[in-house]
Amino acid sequence: MNKNDTSTFGSGPDALARLLGMVVGDDDKSQSTGEDKRIEMIQARFAGPLPLDSAVVDALPSLIGKLCEDLLPLGGRALAEILLDKTSSLETLEKIKTYGKQLSKSEEPQHSVGIAVYYAAIASALLFHDAKITKHSYAYLRDSLKVVEDLVPDNMTRHIAKAGKMCRKKA
């Protein structure tokens, strides 16, 4: 096949790869696409269960025959379900907050997911236990919760807003 007879106008694979890289490169991505992905990941995290503890994952080979619901953190329930449950213990909410804090140390978009989980757990502790499980001031929490309100799934928005209102009263 002659180079000029191809549909690539004589460009070889390397040249096409560079061209494709320019078209699809990170510099050309729109901000809304990144924002959409971040929101999508946050919603997925709230809809799913808390991931397995690394100690449980390490022990799985020896436990494979005994695998049951007890091994799943928080019974395998969706994170949003636990955060919206008035009967969730303060200890459980602190575990979720710690998970969010650890996740927030990741690169984007996982960083945003972690921030949303972190503040949602704090909001639940405030609303259900009247307990502040962070050293942040109420004024700081009020402002942070206002930002997080736009990141969380719809079923969490009102919850976060109520916690923000509570912080406004206490600030």
**62-71 per-position pLDDT tens digit:** 444 444 444 4
Residue 55: per-residue pLDDT = 60
Give me the number of domains the chain comprises: 1
Report the 3 state secondary structure along 14-37.
HHHHHHHHHHHCHHHCCHHHHHHH
Window from 52-56, 104-108, 113-117, 140-144 with minimum mean pLDDT = 52-56
Residue 156 maps to a domain: yes
What are the CA-CA distances from residue 9 to residues 12, 17, 21, 112 (Å)?
Answer: 9, 14, 18, 44
- Residue 165, pLDDT > 80, answer yes
> Tens digits of per-residue pLDDT, 90-104?
999 999 999 999 989
Mean pLDDT of 31-44: 78
What band does 16 get if pLDDT is binned at 50, 70 and 90? low
Dihedral sign computed on CA atoms, order 91, 94, 98, 103: positive
Residue 6 maps to a domain: no
Residue 5 maps to a domain: no
Residue 10 maps to a domain: no
Residue 71 maps to a domain: no
Higher pLDDT, 50 or 27: 50
What band does 112 get if pLDDT is binned at 50, 70 and 90? very high
In this structure, are residues 148 and 167 in contact, taking their beta carbons and an 8 Å threshold?
no
State which residues form the domain around 100.
40-49+78-170
CA angle at 55 for the pair 53 and 57, rounded to the nearest 5°: 75
Residue 110 maps to a domain: yes
Residue 153 maps to a domain: yes
Residue 113 maps to a domain: yes
- Residue 26, pLDDT > 70, answer no
